[in-house]
Amino acid sequence: MVVVNVSEAKARLTELLQRAESGERVLIARRNEPIVELRLIASRPSVEPRPFGLCAGELQVPDDFDEPLPEDILRAFEG
């Protein structure tokens, strides 16, 4: 683990980032009191997109799906 003060961290930021990327913990301190830790963030596993048509044939859309709603149901929605 590396401990550096704020001004040193500003001057050596690239080096400190490389050390953190290689798995080393880097603490940045102010007046010898650690305030920030630089460390590698675990990368997310790549997520493959879902295949098109995943549920093909499992759902049925009724023929009247886009027909206007009956008056009683419209009144229930509109209050």
**Overall domain count for the chain:** 1
What CATH number is associated with residue 21? 3.40.1620.10
Q: Choose among 56, 54, 25: nearest CA to 40.
A: 25
Q: What is the pLDDT of residue 16?
A: 96
Q: Is residue 66 part of a domain?
A: no
| SS3 call for 32 | coil
Would you state the structure tokens that stand for residue 23, as one six-digit string?
Answer: 């798995």
Domain span at residue 15 reads 2-38
Q: Is residue 63 part of a domain?
A: no
CA dist 17 and 38 (Å) reads 7
pLDDT digits over 8-63, tens only? 999 999 999 999 999 899 999 999 999 999 998 877 667 788 888 888 889 899 99
Q: Indicate the pTM of the whole model.
A: 0.52
Q: Is residue 79 part of a domain?
A: no
Q: What is the pLDDT of residue 44?
A: 67
